[in-house]
Amino acid sequence: MIPTVSNEEEGVTQKSTLKKEHRWKWLVALMVGVLLILVGANVLFYVTRLSTAPKSAPVDQSYQGTDMGKTPAPVFQLHDQNGKLVSLQALRGRPVVLTFLYTTCPGPCPLTAEKMYSATQLLGAQAAQVHWDAVSVNPAVDNAHLATAFVAAHRLTGYLHFLLGTEKQLRPIWKDYAVGVTPAQGNAAMTHSVGIYLIDAQGRERVYLGSNFTPEMLAKNLQQLLANNTK
């Protein structure tokens, strides 16, 4: 005999099933609600972190050449072709162009000087806001007379300070600025590193320009240094 189910039993069963379905739907809705709350909280936390996090400074890519990392420039003092004492430390407050030359150089030194002259022309009145310096790398030959003539020949009178001294005075400066100097031997002319250091108004090395620099590169870098004189 097949067991029969009364209407009352069927009603109880249906109610029980409905309760289970209702409870399940309620649990699902609760879980979804909790999940939405957690997601919302995470989004709010992320947005808050973004709005309150310190903004990193933009990378300054305006300088051309080798970045010197704002290393404090080694200080020195020497007399120029006019007998004036030039102290690098006393030049704080204005950018400095620093190179290493000698007056009887057959090639790279005159070329560097000509590029410096061209840069002064590109800068115009701003060129007077820069201190232009060349340290001698041939103390046995360089003197005030030859230095004055060299500066005049390259139209840098009033700009370039040709700094002179004895080998004892100059050699530590060459070393501090990694300038290699090889004395003349036999028929071979002396050789030395050719390049330019750009030092900012706070006395920090900012850029090194190798021998292949252009006047435009030099002028643009100096314009940036002048524009950021207090940074």
Whole-number Å distance between alpha carbons of 220 and 64? 8
Q: What pLDDT does 9 receive?
A: 39
State how beta strands 96-101 and 195-199 pair: antiparallel
Q: What pLDDT does 25 receive?
A: 52
* Contact between 136 and 102 (Cβ < 8 Å): yes
Give the amino acid at 33: G
Whole-number Å distance between alpha carbons of 101 and 226? 25
Q: What pLDDT does 183 receive?
A: 85
Q: What pLDDT does 23 receive?
A: 52
* DSSP state string for 144-212: HHHHHHHHHHTT-TTTEEEEB--HHHHHHHHHHTT--EE--BTTBPPEE--EEEEE-TTSEEEEEEETT
Q: What pLDDT does 21 receive?
A: 52
Q: What pLDDT does 185 receive?
A: 79
| Residues contacting residue 169 through CB under 8 Å, at least 6 positions apart | 78, 139
Whole-number Å distance between alpha carbons of 206 and 198? 6
* pLDDT tens, per residue, the chain with 231 residues: 434 444 433 443 444 444 445 554 544 454 445 444 443 444 333 333 333 333 333 334 579 999 999 999 999 999 999 999 999 999 999 999 999 999 999 999 999 999 999 999 999 999 999 999 999 999 999 999 999 999 999 999 999 999 999 999 999 999 999 999 998 877 777 889 999 999 999 999 999 999 999 999 999 999 999 998 766
Residue 85 belongs to what H/E stretch? strand 85-87
